[in-house]
């Protein structure tokens, strides 16, 4: 087996690894459920490489993510559901369907007009899927019919911040939204007051619930500010890690560890690290 630029070679490699007699023992026992954690991990590694601007790593991580797509497709083919070719056909159909201004009658649309167009197309697709599901399920009495929701189709497995953003965007598309960031900031202040009250009452369940409300409202603020909460938190994580490592290295030069230093010493070093980065 030789490497190749042809996607078919990757499909052949996965087929060989999954072969029931001559394949790899580890690969043969994998299922959708066991592979999903790797799929999520690879997606995050793609995001990390892109954020760092590391093109060599990005090329490598995109390959790992593509492997996951081929792997899931192979398992589905073995179970008689679909194959990789059908996955490619489905996404090409979707892209053509969702870009009639490019692949149909060519017209110039503004970003706002495009968002409205895509929302309308997605809503039509959703209604089509609901109709198909209803037909497949046969007749139902009224008590068993589930009302279609604009929130349908937002995967539970998404990272919490990403899912919160998608839920809020879906609700906003139906007119359920704050008028602007100022109102969201007022809501955040309200949530902070409720956290303080829950802390004073010493109720762990209420504390967690109110913190959840605060985080949800913060995601709403990011959405109104046209910022990605996931990207913002990743950058905050990287900044914290960078500055804390500065503290560790500075203390090491003094023959100390963070556990041996005082909080005041570490805060002073943190200020030095911040000033070096921001000039403030």
Give the model confidence (pLDDT) of 47-71 as tens digits: 889 988 999 999 999 999 999 999 9
Q: What is the dihedral of CA 231, 190, 160, 59, to 10 degrees?
A: 0
pLDDT band at 205 (very low <50, low <70, confident <90, very high): very high
Q: What is the pLDDT of residue 130?
A: 62
pLDDT band at 77 (very low <50, low <70, confident <90, very high): very high
Distance between CA atoms of residues 32 and 209, nearest Å: 32
**Under a CB-based contact definition with an 8 Å cutoff, are residues 229 and 222 in contact?**
yes
Q: What is the DSSP letter of 148?
A: P
pLDDT band at 103 (very low <50, low <70, confident <90, very high): confident
What are the structure tokens assigned to 179, written together?
């008028």
Q: Who wins on pLDDT, 278 or 29?
A: 29
Distance between CA atoms of residues 26 and 156, nearest Å: 28
The answer to whether residue 191 scores a pLDDT higher than 80 is yes
**Under a CB-based contact definition with an 8 Å cutoff, are residues 178 and 224 in contact?**
yes
152 CB neighbour count, 10 Å cutoff: 12
Interacting residues of 83 by C-beta distance below 8 A, sequence separation 6+: 73, 74, 76, 77
Q: Which residue has 């007009």 as its token pair? A: 113
Q: Tell me the average pLDDT across 213-224.
A: 96
**Considering the entire predicted model, what is its pTM?**
0.63
Distance between CA atoms of residues 267 and 253, nearest Å: 17
How many CA atoms within 13 Å lie on the side-chain side of 15? 10
Distance between CA atoms of residues 223 and 121, nearest Å: 22
Q: Who wins on pLDDT, 118 or 35?
A: 35
Distance between first and last Cα of the chain: 57
């Amino acid at each position: 087996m030789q490497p190749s630029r042809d996607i078919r070679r990757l499909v052949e490699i996965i087929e060989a690894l999954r072969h029931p007699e001559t394949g790899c023992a580890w690969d043969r026992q994998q299922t959708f459920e066991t592979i999903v954690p790797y799929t999520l991990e690879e997606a995050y590694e793609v995001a990390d490489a892109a954020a760092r601007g590391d093109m060599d790593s990005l090329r490598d991580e995109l390959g790992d993510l593509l492997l996951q797509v081929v792997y899931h497709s192979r398992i589905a083919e073995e179970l008689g559901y679909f194959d990789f070719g059908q996955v490619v056909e489905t996404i090409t159909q979707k892209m053509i369907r969702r870009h009639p201004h490019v692949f149909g009658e060519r017209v110039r649309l503004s970003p706002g007009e495009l968002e409205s167009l895509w929302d309308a197309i997605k809503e039509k697709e959703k209604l089509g899927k609901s109709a198909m599901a209803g037909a497949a399920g046969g007749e139902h009495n009224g008590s068993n019919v589930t009302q279609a929701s604009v929130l349908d189709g937002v995967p539970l497995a998404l990272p919490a911040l990403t899912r919160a953003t998608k839920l809020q965007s879906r609700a906003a598309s139906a007119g359920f939204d704050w008028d602007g960031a100022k109102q969201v900031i007022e809501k955040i202040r309200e949530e902070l007051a409720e956290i303080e009250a829950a802390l004073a009452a010493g109720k762990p369940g209420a504390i967690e619930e109110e913190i959840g409300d605060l985080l949800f409202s913060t995601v709403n603020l990011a959405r109104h500010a046209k910022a990605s909460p996931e990207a913002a938190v990743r950058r905050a994580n990287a900044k914290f890690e960078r500055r804390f490592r500065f503290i560790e290295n500075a203390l090491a030069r003094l023959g100390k560890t963070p556990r041996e230093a005082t909080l005041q010493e570490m805060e002073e070093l943190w200020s030095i690290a911040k000033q070096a980065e921001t000039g403030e």
